[in-house]
Structure 1
Amino acid sequence: MFGKVLKVILVLGVCTAVGLGGLFATGALGVPDAGIEDNAWGEVDDDRIEVVTTVWVDNPNPGLEVDDLTLEYALWMNDVDLADGTAADVGMPAGNTTTEIRSDLRYQHLSDWWVAHVESDEVSDLRADVTAHVEWGPLSGAPSYTHEDEVETDLEPMIADSMAQLEGEHSLSPVEGGGALEPTVEIRDTDAEWGEVDENRTELHLTYEVHNPNAYPLPTPALTGEMEFNDHLVGEWDAHEVEVLHGGYDATIPPGESREITFVVDLDNDDVVQWFATHVDGEEVTDAELRAQLAMNVDGQTMTIPGDEEAIHCEYDLRTDIFVDQESGIEQTGCELLPWATPDQEEFDELEATLELDDALLAGDGDDGERDEGDDADDSDEADDDTTGDDAGGGEIGGTDSLLGTVD
């Protein structure tokens, strides 16, 4: 009796398999399919950024339910492996359904992504893959789906726009009052661009074309400033931490001539990663603040650009569209002048960025200025190859000529 029952079961099983195979061969049944419906940010904390991926699943077989589907997800940006996740034993009734896969970004890989992003002119190729593993007789398979997108940021033009607020003509006075020296300085052009970048640090090059319309030389100015994104300090530079390319601080700006000065500022990539967490936690919106000041030391007197020991302070809204459906870009929300901590005499001495002028020179006989250490100022300047003589102009803000425009 038992043998007969077993034979019947085996026959039914074979018939069922043959029947399913026949239906599959004729197109009446099909292998389930899957794809990505949406990506979103989940929970964010100090060392974790969650990615929530909504996957659609299509089971084209009426009346047949698969209950052991396995879904796999992977995310790359500029070929940097940032996340993967798995959902096992997923039920798949007939028709279209959705399910979620939760995965964590690999924090330790975010710095690698940042390096690739900067080296690609702030453009990242995003790729997200989902694969559905189905094992159900003739309906077994592993259909996959790939979503590709391009992610751009505009940090470099945002920084350049804020630095451009210093352009124009500035009449300088000693910050402590007194002294007969009140030179005029013209910032004719500015620029900002990324320099060298590695896994630990990112260089930012800030360039100013400084024109000296006076009858005496002027020293190389010192730069101070900072960048704050979502109340997180991403970059901060004191005068003694900033390097100068091509000529150094001991080069002067001769009378009636211009000099292109490039300051090198370092950003710690760990600070960038921490900012990125605040950015995605805020629906990919960043409140960016940038501050900058130039300062000169002549005859022991410090003079600042802008004047009165103030700094330019600009704010921007920065938006991206990695996972959030919005228009990416930057918008300047305002620029103003605010009080700032000016470099002291000790910092100028450390940089060797001070200049002494003798009485004969100030009287206009054309003699050279002298460095504190006795070096001839023009000899220092001859070592610098970046001297030009172009013209420019600007509008007025707070006693200094400047344009407080908006980002195009």
Structure 2
Amino acid sequence: MSGIGEALTASRFRIAGVVVGVLVVSLVGAFALGVLGAPAVEAVDNRFGDVDDETTVVFTDLVVDNPNPIGVQLGNTTINYTVRMNDVPMAVGGREGLDIRRGNSTLEFTTRMNNEQIPPWWATHVNNDERTVVTINATVRTSILGQRRYDITQEKEVETDIIGDFNSEETRPVNADDPPPLFSNPVLYVNRTSAEWGEATAQETPIDMEFVMYNPQTTPFTVTELGYEITMNGVAVGEGRTDDIAAIPPGATETVRTEARILNPNLDDWWVTHLRNDQVTNLRIEFYAVVSVDQLSQDIRVPLDRLTYEETIETDIFGNENASTAEPTATATPTPADGERTPTPTDSGRTMPTATPTAIPDDPLETPTDDDGLL
């Protein structure tokens, strides 16, 4: 009887082995036929966290779709993502060894951005006509049935008009605090102001400004100096003066020019205030002029209070405040194993995004990081 029992037990093990083998073969066949599929990134959401003088925390949620009827633990699958603003890398992260349940799973990442990335991004924003393209790219690489890669790319535009309102045809009187005996207020009039960006570099952002000034006095005078101070949320980001001398006869106008400069290394300090103020900035540019008169032994310093320029800058870089309901643009680039059929968009029995190749940057995505990836 014991021999019969041992035979039955051995038979059960053989049957179980055959069932497991059939199950494995069935699963592999299902992958090959496209019935089951590799997980893919469906959506990416970013938001800013705490910010200090050196770093900015970026929280990222990746929604991963597992089209299979069972959850999978993928020790050899990696997810990488990068956030760029005008091709300047702002946040990079990734993870490997993922446990993904069936359907959609949200994977949470935390990375830290070095605030020194702000000045180079700012230069690209200005040189691109105050326009930034925020690009978020996420990639799943899996070895299921060979090496495959599935990508998703989201893009959003951020536009500002920081100095546009400085262009004005309004005539503004300029008064001196204590005009000399030869003068009466208003000391002069500014009939027109205009400004445009110069070519921004890593070190500075020039603003070319013009002031059309009118001399209402009976005495000629010379504007020997035009000074400025630029603040953003109270952070000093530029100050200076021009020695572009302009002599203005009585009853005449003359154009006075100055090139104000934002010092880009100061912008990482401004960035902290911008985020802490819900991505709102108050830009302020204050001016003064120095007027010289031959009959006077001392020059006159005139504050140009009526020319003080203020502009509110608001951004929504990741689109959290006014989130779009449009579906993200998704692209898939599977690399099938030798002899394997590439799945079509409807192989899994559901509608999939059209597959088109997407180039993935090499530098920040080659090495996945497990949170706190600091650029």
Q: Is the 8 A contact 2:188 2:213 kept in 1?
A: yes
Tell me which residue corresponds to 2:149: 142
Shift of 1:228: 2.2
User: Structure 2: which 5+ runs fail to align?
Assistant: 1-5, 323-375
Counterparts in 2 of 1:203 and 1:316: CA distance versus 1, 3 Å: closer
3-state DSSP of counterpart to 2:37: coil
Q: Is the 8 A contact 1:56 1:99 kept in 2?
A: yes
Tell me which residue corresponds to 2:101: 93
Structure with more contact order per residue of length (Cα contacts < 8 Å, sep ≥ 6): 2
CA distance in 1: counterparts of 2:123 and 2:302, whole angstroms = 34
Tell me which residue corresponds to 2:232: 229
CA distance in 2: counterparts of 1:188 and 1:178, whole angstroms = 23
Shift of 1:96: 0.9
Q: Match for 2:37: what amino acid?
A: G
Query: Are 1:24 and 2:31 counterparts?
Result: yes
Q: Is the 8 A contact 1:199 1:269 kept in 2?
A: yes
Tell me which residue corresponds to 1:292: 287
Query: Are 1:133 and 2:131 counterparts?
Result: no
Shift of 1:199: 1.2
Tell me which residue corresponds to 2:242: 243
Q: Is the 8 A contact 1:75 1:128 kept in 2?
A: yes
CA distance in 2: counterparts of 1:189 and 1:312, whole angstroms = 10
Shift of 1:15: 3.1
Q: Is the 8 A contact 1:293 1:311 kept in 2?
A: no
CA distance in 2: counterparts of 1:115 and 1:234, whole angstroms = 14
Tell me which residue corresponds to 1:207: 210
Larger helix share, 1 or 2: 1
* TM-score computed with the length of structure 2 as normaliser: 0.72
Tell me which residue corresponds to 1:322: 317
Q: Is the 8 A contact 1:172 1:303 kept in 2?
A: no
CA distance in 2: counterparts of 1:254 and 1:141, whole angstroms = 76
* TM-score computed with the length of structure 1 as normaliser: 0.67
Counterparts in 2 of 1:171 and 1:10: CA distance versus 1, 3 Å: closer
Tell me which residue corresponds to 1:197: 200
CA distance in 2: counterparts of 1:289 and 1:120, whole angstroms = 22
CA distance in 2: counterparts of 1:125 and 1:223, whole angstroms = 36
Tell me which residue corresponds to 1:266: 261
Query: Are 1:124 and 2:132 counterparts?
Result: yes
CA distance in 2: counterparts of 1:311 and 1:186, whole angstroms = 10
Shift of 1:189: 0.6
Q: Is the 8 A contact 1:20 1:138 kept in 2?
A: no
User: Following superposition of structure 1 onto structure 2, how do residues 365-384 of structure 1 map, counting pairs within 5 Å?
Assistant: none
Shift of 1:29: 1.3
Tell me which residue corresponds to 2:302: 304
CA distance in 2: counterparts of 1:48 and 1:277, whole angstroms = 9
C-alpha root-mean-square deviation of aligned residues, in Å? 3.1
Counterparts in 2 of 1:129 and 1:181: CA distance versus 1, 3 Å: same
Shift of 1:315: 4.6
Counterparts in 2 of 1:95 and 1:262: CA distance versus 1, 3 Å: same
Q: Is the 8 A contact 1:124 1:150 kept in 2?
A: yes
Shift of 1:94: 0.5
User: Structure 1: which 5+ runs fail to align?
Assistant: 328-408
Q: Is the 8 A contact 2:46 2:60 kept in 1?
A: yes
